[in-house]
A and B are shown apart, each in its own frame.
Chain A
């Protein structure tokens, strides 16, 4: 990285770290949400962006993390930290148990299998008395937005560091090799099953932590919101909008889209949903490589309106 990029990063970090001391309550709450979404997008980036497996099951990890915290705190009266660990344990168990059979599937089949698993998990949880069935669980309230902000920021930094580590480690190269050509990677000696399951697990751990923090912050959860497939699509679109398979893309995507949708919903209520749909469509058609690619082009001086047309022409029939 060049000097100005380091400086920009340092400024961004300083602004983020000091936000609770100068931002309003609304700003801090918005930032907690955006940071947790950034963690989810980053988690998805590991399995979807780097490994090339379009997971629609990451919301399951988020849900398991939420329920881990909720069950531990409400039913067993354990501290929050133990709940987080319990949620992570659930997510790891899920990733290891179901990762092996599901990650054998490729392309559409993997996407739909994970989509089905998300549906199964929501339906199972809404039948478990320990998890409060359909009604959900109410957690003990803790009115400390600074604490939650700190946790969310820390988790976001950790997940970005993990993804950064991927770009320069043997493990990360193995994942990229699987994305580019799985059979080729296997021939070159990458243990593809092990690598894929590890990537799935890693992505699950990050997502479940985000779910756990969110559950304690919001203090309420039910199966429908915890295992919401719409949330899974949100993390995908944030990662893709920023740039899937890049270190900073998902974080930038999460912040940009959260900010725009927040601004829209304050201007015109309920239009935020429609906006999301339109952005998904426009982003996929016009800039499928994301904001990071746009920025790269701008640096190289090759960014013109023709770029959008080129993207369309590359993919149309």
Chain B
């Protein structure tokens, strides 16, 4: 029983991180209708940004997150403005291909710049743990979970209550009507993508504290993000949070009861199954 509680706790802590990973993907997909196959690569770049800050400038990985977010925000804005805006009206298939090409280029450049070695962000408190009832919770994972929760709820409030958030939601619903109300789509698209990439970068920084990073982690993270976004639906950050927690718990339980080599079967299987049974996401549309 203690083991089950511990495994569940691990799953939930990991799930919070998963939610932040998928948050940016769901935002970009829901608003821009771009399925970003390079999403995992942006997570990877964020992780490297955080690692460099920590390794060379000795910035605490959690305090460094805003810096990573700003850097990734700028990168995201540039990519959308300079590249993705060129194909926004193309058939969806072209956007898939383009973002895959971007993924290949980013992975290659990362390998060139950072080498293929595994890196980890290990601050001084990396080994500290919190005992809570029968469970042992690593401090870093707890911190990552707290940041993830704060980001998700913050995103939800931002989309609901700020002027920019409303503009983004309006664009998602009807681009023409939003334009008539004074939304400049090129700028707004770039801003939305930039927010999505900043979230991906932040997720990458958190990922670097709980796991090892190398230039090739992107592809599987992209697929995981898809699974979460599909489970949670695209229109509500809180749905994505539920999706992330769900995937984290399922993966933890699969590892415990079936075996660690079946984790991918479980997560991709759920993705395929949810798509087949309920393509609008398990939680459906809220509007």
Q: Residue A273 at the B interface, CB < 8 A?
A: yes
Q: Give chain B residues whose Cβ lies under 8 Å from the Cβ of A109.
A: 275, 279
Please give, as numbers and ranges, the residues of chain A lying within 8 Å of B230 by CB-CB distance.
112
Q: Does B7 interact with chain A (Cβ within 8 Å)? A: no
Tell yes or no: B268 within 8 A of A by CB: yes
Query: A316 — which chain B residues lie within 8 A by C-beta?
Result: 85-89
Flag if B105 contacts A281 (CB, 8 Å): yes
Q: Contacts A111-B93, A112-B271, A317-B189 hold; do A127 and B87 have CB atoms under 8 A apart?
A: no
B14 at the interface (CB under 8 A from A): no
Q: With CB as the reference atom, state the residue of chain A lying closest to B109.
A: A274
Tell me if A295 is interfacial: C-beta within 8 Å of chain B: no
**In the bound complex, do residue A284 and residue B98 qualify as a contact, i.e. CB atoms below 8 Å apart?**
yes
Whether B104 pairs with A280 at a CB distance below 8 angstroms is yes
Q: Does B57 reach chain A (CB closer than 8 Å)?
A: no
Closest Cβ–Cβ distance, residue B101 to chain A (whole Å): 3
**Chain B contacts for A237, CB-based, 8 A:** 97, 101
Q: Contact: A123 with B262, CB < 8 Å? A: yes
A240 and B95 CA atoms in complex are apart in Å by 13
A74 proximal to B (CB < 8 A)? no
- The 8 Å CB contact of B90, one of A112, A126, A284, is A284
Chain A residues whose CB sits within 8 angstroms of the CB of B275 once the complex forms: 102, 105, 109, 112-113, 116
Q: Are A280 and B94 closer than 8 Å at their CB atoms?
A: no
How many whole Å from B2's CB to the nearest CB in chain A? Answer: 28
| Selected contact of B108 from candidates A115, A274, A284, A312, CB within 8 Å | A274
- Whether A314 and B89, one on each chain, are in contact in the complex, defined by CB atoms closer than 8 angstroms, is yes
Interface with A: B58-66, B219-227, B241-249, which one?
B219-227
Q: Please, which residue of chain B has its CB at the minimum distance from the CB of A102?
A: B276
B157 at the interface (CB under 8 A from A): no
Name A126-147 residues within 8 Å CB distance of B: 126-127, 134
A116→B268 contact, CB < 8 A: yes
A113, B268: Cβ atoms closer than 8 Å: no
Nearest-neighbour CB distance to chain B for A271, whole angstroms, equals 9
- A120 — which chain B residues lie within 8 A by C-beta? 264-265, 268-269, 272
- B240 interface residue (CB < 8 Å to A): no
Complex: A191 Cα to B167 Cα, angstroms: 42
User: A24 in the interface, Cβ–Cβ < 8 Å?
Assistant: no
Q: Whole-angstrom distance from the CB of B273 to the nearest CB of chain A?
A: 9
Chain B residues near A126 (CB-CB < 8 A): 261
Pick from B83, B108, B261, B272: contact of A273, CB below 8 A: B108
A75-133: which residues lie under 8 A (CB-CB) from chain B?
A: 101-102, 104-105, 107-109, 111-113, 115-117, 119-120, 122-124, 126-127
Interface flags for A247-286 (1: CB within 8 Å of B; 0: not) read 0000000000000000000000000011011111101110
Flag whether A43 is at the interface (Cβ < 8 A).
no
Tell me if A236 is interfacial: C-beta within 8 Å of chain B. yes
Specify which of B90, B101, B186, B264 is in contact with A123 (CB 8 Å cutoff): B264
- State in angstroms the CA–CA spacing of A285 and B223 once bound together: 25
Looking at chain A's contact residues, is the secondary structure mostly helix, strand, loop, or mixed?
helix
Interface residues as binary, B208-252 with A (CB distance below 8 Å gives 1, 0 otherwise): 000000000001000100110010000000000000000000000
Complex alpha-carbon distance, A120 and B275, angstroms: 14
Kindly state whether residue B54 has any CB partner on chain A within 8 Å.
Answer: no
Q: Is the CB of B262 within 8 A of A127?
A: yes
Task: Choose among A122, A124, A285 the residue that contacts B87 (Cβ–Cβ < 8 A).
Answer: A285
Q: Which residues of A contact B165 (CB under 8 A)?
A: none
**Contact B226 A115, beta carbon cutoff 8 Å:** yes
A28 at the interface (CB under 8 A from B): no
A229 touches B35 (CB 8 A): no
Pair A54/B96 contact, Cβ less than 8 Å: yes
Instruction: Determine whether B177 belongs to the interface, using a CB cutoff of 8 Å to chain A.
Output: no
Question: What residues of A have a CB within 8 angstroms of the CB of B35 in the complex?
Answer: 108, 111-112
- Collect the chain A residues with CB atoms within 8 Å of residue B91's CB: 288
- B70 interface residue, CB < 8 Å from A? no
What B residues does A312 contact at CB under 8 A? 86
Is the pair A116, B186 in contact by a Cβ cutoff of 8 Å? no
Smallest Cβ-Cβ distance to B94: which chain A residue: A284
User: Within 8 Å of chain A (Cβ to Cβ): is B156?
Assistant: no
Chain A window 46-62, contacts with chain B (Cβ cutoff 8 Å), 1 for yes, 0 for no: 00100000100000000
B88 near A315 with CB under 8 A, answer: yes
Q: Is the CB of B96 within 8 A of A281?
A: no
Q: B102 near A281 (CB under 8 angstroms)? A: yes
B185 at the interface (CB under 8 A from A): yes
Q: Does B150 have its Cβ within 8 Å of any Cβ on chain A?
A: no
| Distance between Cα atoms of A229 and B264 in the complex (Å) | 15
A274/B268 in contact, CB under 8 A: no
B96 surroundings in chain A (CB, below 8 A) = 54, 108, 111
Given A108-B29, A288-B94, 7 more pairs with CB closer than 8 A: A48-B93, A102-B272, A119-B223, A123-B262, A278-B101, A281-B105, A284-B87
**Which A residues form the contact surface with B (CB < 8 A)?**
48, 54, 101-102, 104-105, 107-109, 111-113, 115-117, 119-120, 122-124, 126-127, 134, 229, 233, 236-237, 240, 273-274, 276-281, 283-285, 288, 312, 314-317
Chain B residues in contact with chain A, CB under 8 A?
Answer: 29, 35, 83, 85-94, 96-98, 100-105, 108-109, 185-186, 189, 219, 223, 226-227, 230, 259, 261-262, 264-265, 268-269, 271-272, 275-276, 279
A sample of 16 cross-chain residue pairs with beta-carbon separation below 8 angstroms, ordered by A number, consists of: A102-B276, A108-B35, A112-B35, A113-B275, A115-B223, A115-B226, A119-B268, A119-B271, A120-B268, A124-B265, A126-B261, A237-B101, A273-B108, A278-B101, A280-B100, A281-B101
